[in-house]
Amino acid sequence: MKTPTISSLLFAFLVIFSCSSLVSSDGHDDFLQCMSLQSNNHTSISNIVYTPNNTSYSSILNFSIQNLRFTSETTPKPLVIVTPVHESQIQPVIYCAKENGMQIRVRSGGHDYEGLSYASEVPFVILDLFNLREISVDAENKTAWIQAGSTIGELYYRIAEKSQTLGFPAGVCPTVGAGGHFSGGGYGALLRKYGLAADNIIDARIVDVNGRILDRISMGEDLFWAIRGGGGASFGVILAWKIQLVDVPEKVTVFTIDKTLDQNATNIVHRWQYIAHKFDEDLFIRILIRRVNSSEDSKRTIQATFQSLFLGGVDRLLPLMQQSFPELGLQREDCTEMSWIESILYFAGFPIESRDVLLNRTQPNVRYFKAKSDYVQKPISKNGLQGIWKLFFEEEAEEAEMILSPYGGRMDEISESAIPFPHRAGNLYKIQHLVYWEEEEVEATQNYINWIRKLYSYMAPYVSRFPRAAYINYRDLDIGVNNNGNTSYAQASIWGIKYFKNNFNRLVQVKTKVDPANFFRNEQSIPPLNSWWNKNGK
């Protein structure tokens, strides 16, 4: 049998992915040709590349979109989607994107709040890592390797397969991808005991701008520092993390208690602010604020939901609560003992016996939403809280919520500069502001976004200042953006100082060293300190 030549394989490849003149004018087929030439196995490459003419293109694109705001016809679409099944298939994507002047957007779980992992205003390629999700748990040494395309739900599931007394301090939403979640910090109900996900990373693998696959030793401590909380997308393509698993008891205790305004919610929330950060580090109580209809007369009211994870049994929790937070009125019947993995399902809103749901990569209810974040360093007055309630009675707030997550404990003990995530001692709690809606119309979308901006403006006197701090995993382009390809240090620092405080400068230094030409970039990526780049762009 005659062996096919490189040219014949290339021709076949281009025929398979032939596209319109509109797309090819943007360098689309040049990229495909480059990919073919750079790859050893042309057939395997054709199986992982999707263009707009491919029948699977839309389903692949939409599969991991977690915010309907970015599913409209006006949302910019990628020229190509690449779904590698092996690490070696990533290097040609980087090389060919550079050669053809295309940006790369790397997607793990698709939860970027502003869609930056799958949308861009310039010609771009999505590098979708959902096939790279191998997880290897070493229960004896309490470590695990997790590929970047894995979700944290998959991680929790695999840990529980090996041990009922090991866990990991990552997020509450199981469909979040590990690649982005860990690189921005990542937190959940264990943060007061063990800190962030990023605080518990002990090694990593990354593809740099030159296509080299690096681990902690070969990348060096500066880059290893930067990708644990500084956002990995500025520095390369995260392939995998090695994490330190943490001890959890065989039985934990959970409770959820709702309090409306008629049930003294304002006073209890006010009191929580003074004590939640001082609780025993085994105790985490967060608050979810929503508008609801009163059960008695169906009138609108505000409900504060106190949701807790306690790393111990109910017999130890009850006296602790009576001593620390009697105002909540916790009773034994409010509490449920369960395993840590069951508490993951509980916090995610699933039946605790439905463990297999953690393997699902898609959320059951994807909606339109906009989010913001804040840090509170002094308790908000009762009058201040009542002003929040007033805003929640407005029409656009029907599906809005605020989530208040307490700090203290281990979070107070870790230095602001230990990793790029700087929000440590001095913060009582973090706020996530959220507004959801169902309407597709642009005008409706703008009304809801205007509402959350009004809430954010109202909160200004009550939250951190100079800077008004924010959390990068709750991405918010309202706080500042880079120019497309021509961003100065000064412009990027507008948003960068809010996310990273004094760590922003070190992140810029690392970026300058590892990606001086600013290939890995987006609307809120770390810029290099390069006078030519900042003057001319590319």
The predicted-structure confidence for 451-485, as pLDDT tens digits, reads as follows 999 999 999 999 999 999 999 999 999 999 998 76
> Is residue 190 scored above 80 in pLDDT?
yes
Please report how many Cα atoms fall inside a 13 Å half-sphere around the Cα of residue 71, on the Cβ side.
19
Mean pLDDT over 45-61 rounds to 93
What CA–CA distance (Å, rounded) separates 37 from 43? 12
What CA–CA distance (Å, rounded) separates 422 from 507? 12
3-state secondary structure 135-175: EEEECCCCEEEEECCCEHHHHHHHHHHHCCCEECCCCCCCC
> Is residue 494 scored above 50 in pLDDT?
yes
Between 168 and 16, where is the model more confident? Answer: 168
Query: Please, are residues 507 and 524 in contact by the beta-carbon 8 Å criterion?
Result: no
The sign of the torsion formed by the CA atoms of 211, 214, 220, 221 equals: positive
Residue 474 catalytic?
yes
> Is residue 499 scored above 60 in pLDDT?
yes
> Is residue 15 scored above 90 in pLDDT?
no
What CA–CA distance (Å, rounded) separates 148 from 303? 37
3-state SS, residue 213: strand
Phi, psi values for residue 440, rounded to 5°: -85, -20
Mean pLDDT over 288-305 rounds to 90
Q: Which band of pLDDT confidence, cut at 50, 70 and 90, is reported for residue 29? A: confident
What CA–CA distance (Å, rounded) separates 468 from 387? 20
The closest of 14, 129, 43 to 81, measured between CA atoms, is 129
Q: Which single residue is written with the structure tokens 């041990």?
A: 163
What CA–CA distance (Å, rounded) separates 131 from 85? 5
Give me Rg for the CA atoms of the chain. Answer: 24
What CA–CA distance (Å, rounded) separates 130 from 147? 9
Euclidean distance between the first and the last CA atom of the chain, given in angstroms as a whole number: 48
Q: Which band of pLDDT confidence, cut at 50, 70 and 90, is reported for residue 42? A: low
What CA–CA distance (Å, rounded) separates 45 from 49? 6
* pLDDT tens string 128-140: 999 999 999 999 9
Please, which residues bridge with residue 238 across strands?
Answer: 206
User: Which pLDDT score is estimated for 188?
Assistant: 98
* pLDDT tens string 201-259: 999 999 999 999 999 999 999 999 999 999 999 999 999 999 999 999 999 999 999 99
**Please, what is the angle between helix 152-162 and helix 340-348, to 10°?**
160
> Is residue 199 scored above 70 in pLDDT?
yes
* pLDDT tens string 64-97: 999 999 999 999 999 999 999 999 999 999 999 9
Catalytic residue among 156, 462, 474, 489: 474
Structure tokens at 278: 């001082």
Neighbours of 177 (CB within 10 A): 29
- Residues with Cβ within 8 Å of 411's Cβ and at least 6 positions away in sequence, in order, are 191, 192, 195, 424, 425, 427
pTM to 2 decimal places:
0.93
DSSP per residue, 232-245: GGGT-EEEEEEEE-
DSSP tag of 294: -
What CA–CA distance (Å, rounded) separates 132 from 361? 13
β-strands 103-107, 124-128: how paired?
parallel
What CA–CA distance (Å, rounded) separates 251 from 496? 41
The closest of 84, 80, 85, 95 to 27, measured between CA atoms, is 80
* pLDDT tens string 313-370: 999 999 999 999 999 999 999 999 999 999 999 999 999 999 999 999 988 889 999 9
- Residues with Cβ within 8 Å of 284's Cβ and at least 6 positions away in sequence, in order, are 189, 190, 191, 192, 193, 308, 309, 310, 406
> Is residue 7 scored above 80 in pLDDT?
no
What CA–CA distance (Å, rounded) separates 432 from 344? 19
Mean pLDDT over 163-181 rounds to 98
Between 8 and 511, where is the model more confident? Answer: 511
What CA–CA distance (Å, rounded) separates 172 from 473? 13
Q: Determine whether 384 is exposed, middle or buried from the number of CB atoms within 10 Å of its CB (0-12, 13-18, 19+).
A: middle
Cis ω on the peptide bond leading into residue 249 (within 30° of 0)?
A: no
Mean pLDDT over 269-289 rounds to 98
User: Which pLDDT score is estimated for 14?
Assistant: 43
Out of 11-25, 98-112, 183-197, which region has the weakest mean confidence (pLDDT)? 11-25
Mean pLDDT over 179-208 rounds to 98
> Is residue 295 scored above 90 in pLDDT?
no
User: Which pLDDT score is estimated for 534?
Assistant: 45
Query: Please, are residues 309 and 252 in contact by the beta-carbon 8 Å criterion?
Result: yes
> Is residue 10 scored above 70 in pLDDT?
no
Phi, psi values for residue 238, rounded to 5°: -65, 130
CA dihedral defined by 348, 350, 354, 360, rounded to 10 degrees?
-60
Q: Which band of pLDDT confidence, cut at 50, 70 and 90, is reported for residue 535? A: very low
The closest of 187, 125, 186, 181 to 151, measured between CA atoms, is 181
User: Which pLDDT score is estimated for 484?
Assistant: 75
Q: What rounded mean pLDDT belongs to the chain? A: 92
What CA–CA distance (Å, rounded) separates 50 from 457? 43
What CA–CA distance (Å, rounded) separates 129 from 70? 19
Query: Please, are residues 185 and 170 in contact by the beta-carbon 8 Å criterion?
Result: no
Percent of the chain with pLDDT over 70: 92
